[in-house]
Amino acid sequence: MTNGTASRAGEVLRVSQPAVSKAIQELERIIGFALFDRIKGRMLPTAEGRLFFREVSGAFSGLVHLRSAAARIRDFGSGEIRIASLSALSTNIVPKALRAFHARHPDVAITLQARMSSVVKDLVAGGQFDVGLAADEIDVAGVESRPFAQYRAAVAMPSGHRLAERQMIEPKDLDGQTFIALSPEDTTRRQADLVFAEHGAKPKIVLETPYSTTICAMVQSGLGVGLIHPLTADPYLGQALVTRPFSAPVHFRTLLLLPPDRRPSRIVAGFIEELMRQSRFED
């Protein structure tokens, strides 16, 4: 059909003209209709032959697409990656890892959602997301989990606060201070409560929230002071908010979550490598 004659088709396929004619006859027998009319030694396409040729051409286009898809999978793994992250890491570690990852794999589609840690776990457990970052207070049943990183808590306070004069904040310094606290179920909050009890300090809690970013916003507004994930303070520093190290060993610990019973694709493994590299740099 493409080359016009059986002789030319045989040359292209490197077979004899009779072999081409025999192959056409066998195909016509299988499909049940004539592809060509034989008129005075010439083979002219029938209407049915042209319709069938159109379908065959589409099939070959599909094969070309499959070759391209196979090449993408071979080189990059899946053509997309879906990431869920707790808020504390979604504005610092994750963007930096994604920037480096995208530079290496510009054709990979990326989905990112910042959610509460319990929701991150559910999204990964259900196979809706390929990788998750969550705080360590979650129940890890139904996911594969591994330690990701830990960050020492810092104390955030409004600019001009009397504690800002100190280079290091002691637990007793927070006794009686108006305090924005993490939610009671947060493991960092529980560590802090033990430290305060040990030192006889009783901060005056006026607000509880699961997010360090919310604590920063409340501190910036002048509501009080609070213990925060240090990375979340970056956008607020110099804007009515300052941070100081906290002397007690209170940490934010995070987990890397993967769907159960599924080996990560090459593309997910590559992104995890980038995440680990950025966490080492930041920590």
Q: Which of 169, 154, 268, 271 is nearest to 212 (CA)?
A: 154
CATH of the domain at 178: 3.40.190.10
DSSP code for 77: S
pLDDT at 281 (0 to 100): 47
Whether 243 and 192 share a structural domain = yes
pLDDT at 73: 63
What's the pLDDT tens digit per position in 186-220?
999 999 999 999 999 999 999 999 889 999 999 99
Looking only at Cα atoms, what is the longest distance across the chain? 108
The structure tokens listed for 269 are 């493994």
Amino acid sitting at position 95? P
- Reported as a single tens digit per residue, the pLDDT across 91-125 is 889 999 999 999 988 888 899 999 999 999 999 99
DSSP strands (E only) in 144-215: 144-152, 154-158, 178-182, 204-209
Q: 182 and 136 in one domain?
A: no
Q: Are residues 158 and 245 in the same domain?
A: yes
Confidence of residue 234 (pLDDT cuts 50, 70, 90): confident
Q: Is the same domain home to 275 and 159?
A: no
Q: What is the pLDDT of residues 34-72, one digit of tens each?
A: 999 988 778 899 999 999 998 888 888 778 777 766 766
**Domain that residue 126 falls in:** 80-150+254-282
Does the pLDDT value for residue 282 go beyond 50? no
Q: Are both 171 and 242 inside the same structural domain?
A: yes
Report, as an integer, the average pLDDT of 157-174: 95
User: How far apart, in whole angstroms, are the C-alpha atoms of residue 80 and residue 73?
Assistant: 10
Do 237 and 162 share a domain, yes or no? yes
pLDDT value of position 76: 56
- Counting residues of the chain whose pLDDT is more than 90, the rounded percentage is 70
Q: Indicate if 220 and 265 belong to the same structural domain.
A: no
